[in-house]
Amino acid sequence: MKSIYLEGASRMAGLIIDEAEKLRKSDGAVLVFPHKSVDGDCIGSSCALASVFRSLGANAWVCMPEKIPNNMSFLGVDDLLFYPPEGFLQGDMLVNGKHYETAFSVDCTEGHRMGANGKIFEYYEDAYDIDHHEVTHLSDPLKWIEPKASSACEMVFYVISQIAKIKGVELSLLMDQRCAGCLMAGIVTDTGRFTYTNTRPETLETAGVLMEHGGDITKVCYNLFDMKTPEEFAISSAACSSAMFYCNGRLAIVKVPQRMFKQYNAGSDDISDVVSRLRDIGGVEFACVLRETENGTVRGNLRSKTEFDCSEFAERFGGGGHKRAAGFTVEGIDIDELCDQIIREASAFL
């Protein structure tokens, strides 16, 4: 393991071992929190972490902010997922009959990025976090924040490896084929199949170990990137053909109103490939896709190449992410009005 990850991974591994032992004795449960607008990294890392807790004899579930997307169903993680009922905090606060005593977040640290589940996460004063996004509270002993890591999944892999080392067991006893597949899903998602600049030599080494433990990279990439239903293919093609270009072709933007999803009988996740396709157009520096949801909110997905800081721009709208990939969700604004605002503000940087 590279030295830049060793200290954080070892510290977090020790904390997880201790928490698992406490939970095993109390028969309590740990909840793992991913962010809303779930993607391969937050689902992969949260499910892998819950799986490891179970391997250590503790009860663990992933507290889902929304239904898992269809293109991730191949991961086979339904038994790890918990969908809090309405009024969960006001009730007995049981997860499948177990009192939840510990909270972990992965791929995010703030409750407001977890949708309605943020209130549950914020119930805990001492929550643990594993994240690769740039945040300010880097020195908290319960948090491992490593912006140099390609993904939360890569970080969770290092933690699992350290747990195995501390306990003196084979890695395969903690990371089965499903767990390896989940981690592979997050890594290929956040590295764009190892093409983004966050791909480091140790990222490729990690992928190799995951393959040795059953992480099927071909299956993962096909399901997450290539497989399309007829509805997905149709709306994705229509969305791309409606792209608008500004700033001498440096800005590409697409807006997909709810009526368009209904026209093609498609879901909001069926255009997930559009923003990357826009970014890949020659001359485009910044790409943005706006999608209107059924409840009237607008989700924005941002991608850039070398100059534009997507994370900083997303923060203007209450979102966040990375310099080259970020997102946000806003309420109470018309998609056309938001589109015009983004064009005006982005033009100042381009």
pLDDT tens by residue, 123-139: 998 999 999 987 755 56
Average pLDDT, the chain: 93
Residues 14 and 162 in one domain: yes
Q: The domain that contains 197 carries what CATH number?
A: 3.90.1640.10
The two tokens of residue 21 are 């032992």
Q: Does one domain contain both 289 and 181?
A: no
Record the pTM: 0.89
Which residue type does 222 have?
Y
Which of 185, 204, 224 terminates a domain? The answer is 224
Residues 205 and 236 in one domain: no
Same domain, 269 and 335: yes
Q: Say whether pLDDT at 153 is over 60.
A: yes
Structural domains in the chain (count): 2
Q: Which runs of consecutive H residues, i.e. helices, occur in the chain?
A: 3-26, 40-55, 118-121, 152-167, 177-191, 201-212, 217-221, 230-241, 258-263, 274-279, 310-315, 335-347
How much of the chain, in percent, has pLDDT values that exceed 90?
A: 81
Do residue 50 and residue 78 come from a single domain? Answer: yes
196, 224, 252 - which closes a domain: 224
Minimum mean pLDDT range among 83-92, 209-218, 237-246, 326-335 = 83-92
Cβ atoms within 10 Å of 312's Cβ, excluding its own: 13
Q: What is the pLDDT of residue 136?
A: 56
pLDDT digits 0-9 by tens, 177-227:
999 999 999 999 999 999 988 999 999 999 999 999 999 999 999 999 999
Q: Which domain holds residue 299?
A: 230-347
Per-residue pLDDT averaged across 76-86, rounded? 95
3-state DSSP helix/strand/coil % of the chain, to nearest 5? 45, 15, 35
Whether 179 and 280 share a structural domain: no
In this structure, the answer to whether residues 123 and 97 fall within a common structural domain is yes
Residues 46 and 180 in one domain: yes
Same domain for 69 and 206?
yes
Bridging pattern class, strands 143-145 and 128-131: parallel
Residue 139's pLDDT is 65
Shared-domain flag, residues 71 and 166: yes
Q: Does 201 lie in the same domain as 256?
A: no
Give me the pLDDT at residue 214, please: 98
Q: pLDDT value at position 322? A: 83
Task: State how far Cα 283 lies from the chain centre.
Answer: 28
285 and 314 in contact (C-beta within 8 Å)?
no
Last residue of a domain, one of 224, 241, 258: 224
**Claim to verify: residue 202 and residue 246 sit in the same structural domain:** no
CB 255 within 8 A of CB 287: no
pLDDT tens string 90-117? 666 778 888 888 999 999 998 988 999 9
